[in-house]
A and B are shown apart, each in its own frame.
Chain A
Amino acid sequence: MNILVCISSVPDTTSKINFVDNDSKFDINGVQFIINPNDEFGLTKAVWMKQSNNASVTVLTVGEASVETTLRKCLAIGADKAIRIDCLPKDGYSVAKEIESHCNDVSYDIIICGRESIDYNGGIVPGLLAGFLDYNFVTNCVDLNVDGKKAVFSREMSGGTEISECELPLVVGSQKGLVEEKDLIIPNMRGIMMARQKPLDVITAKGISSLTEDKKFIKPEPKSEVKLVKANELDQLIDLLENEAKVI
């Protein structure tokens, strides 16, 4: 079985978010990039499936050379092979198109993406990709079992969990729960050494144009000072919520 894990390389969760070029670009100065947390759950799951399903795991990023550090980390976690489609990602549409084009050349049984990325976080790429390829699709996936050509999986929906089955191929939007936080694979020295020997192929992008463009980024207004209420004057809090904020 062939599994593709699509990796988005995102600013570390503690990063300060700033913009440059007239607020039209994210300022990468001093920012450390990590594997998108939702993708990391999916990657660990895929690496487990090497054992349970005799799977081979490829990781793929659409990005410039700087994302290779993130891809090497994925190889150290246990992916067999990495692919970088060489271009600056412009929007979810063009990224999904580039990935689709690769999936028309190499066929995968399961494509795992994160439910959403934590940077541009649209939750766009997995759905588009499934639609383009006409594959089955599940997002907010919290459980996945594959047996032969059949997958049984769960998804978190509002107010509950839905369990369903389908035939492969399948696009999965992964998140915490697909594997537990404590089970995430942390690369060890051996993994890091082995990662250096594993293939990292660079593919020329098709150069697909985007449909959306971030024209300008805006930071939220600074917050006004908190109003403190004394612990023994909770009536005042209720009054503020009721009459000032009008939220209860």
Chain B
Amino acid sequence: MKRTLENIEKQFETFQILNEEGKIINEDAMPDLSDDELKELMHRMVYTRILDQRSIALNRQGRLGFYAPTAGQEGSQLGTQYALEQEDFILPAYRDVPQLIWQGLPLYQAFLFSRGHYHGNQMPEGVHALSPQIIIGAQYTQAAGIALGMKIRGKKNVAITYTGDGGTSQGDFYEGMNFAGAYKAPAIFVVQNNRFAISVPVEKQTAATTLAQKAVAAGIEGIQVDGMDILAVYAATKEARERAINGEGPTLIETLTYRYGPHTMAGDDPTRYRTEDLDNEWEKKDPLVRFRKFLENKGLWSEEEENKVIDQAKKEIKEAIKKADEQPKQKVTDLIKNMYEELPAHLQEQMEEYKAKESK
């Protein structure tokens, strides 16, 4: 009897292009990006880091509502997003607001999402995305459907969806991949393995050595990528996208990453389940630090340039929060209006009732 598990697991090596010192270690895999594009990646990571810091502060001041910190995951989030075309469809999880922003969701709407204002979920023209999924794993089956819709309509686009390591324990995770695989639907399934499902370490969540190997049972491609290496993440996503639009089926991408902050701002204290040593170990892998070194060595980045991005981010965040504050408050009649395409009689009655109250 032949045992296969060990052989399968051995095949999932972490794909890396840029190492922790900012050196290219895999020249052959280096994606075809111009100097301007490389700088753009750095720009976006710096901007997103500042956005995260400001969002945490705004949350503490009571000026933002629900917020899931993103610092540490920029390489994984922005590397995947940068490989997309504008017509591609994003199904984010709750931590994946940055991908929406870089796909075109205005900042003030991201803030409104945080505050539970429905306008935060009204995607502007040209942004093809669902708002961040709150139910763990539910977006995986929906991604299969969106990809299938694209396939039926003959569009050369992909649906990309995100979950964390915790999401891989859900039934929907397997069902979504299996479904998309069975139909060779153009989907990309991203697992951002930040090592903890709130407090439970990935080793305690599954017997599998990698999460990428979970693709094998669905009969789709799986790859494990260094999620702190934005070049590797970009290259892996780009390739998955090519294969998807060429009818070769979906891909599962596991990015190895880390969230520096708490799970969300709703009272989580990571010191209860993570050690300082572990935090330090991962901060050494930081996606911004290594990419900065890489760019500086190429003469493409400077402190001055970085400060410019920081100032721009701070200014735009300030403007966006002001704009969010100016958005008309939600009324009960808005909520009723949003329920059905045409109001049934019972809601029509409620509508009249609240219209009268609100006009007082």
Asked if A pairs with B, the answer is no
Could you tell me which B residues sit within 8 Å of A by CB distance?
A: none
Could you tell me which A residues sit within 8 Å of B by CB distance?
A: none
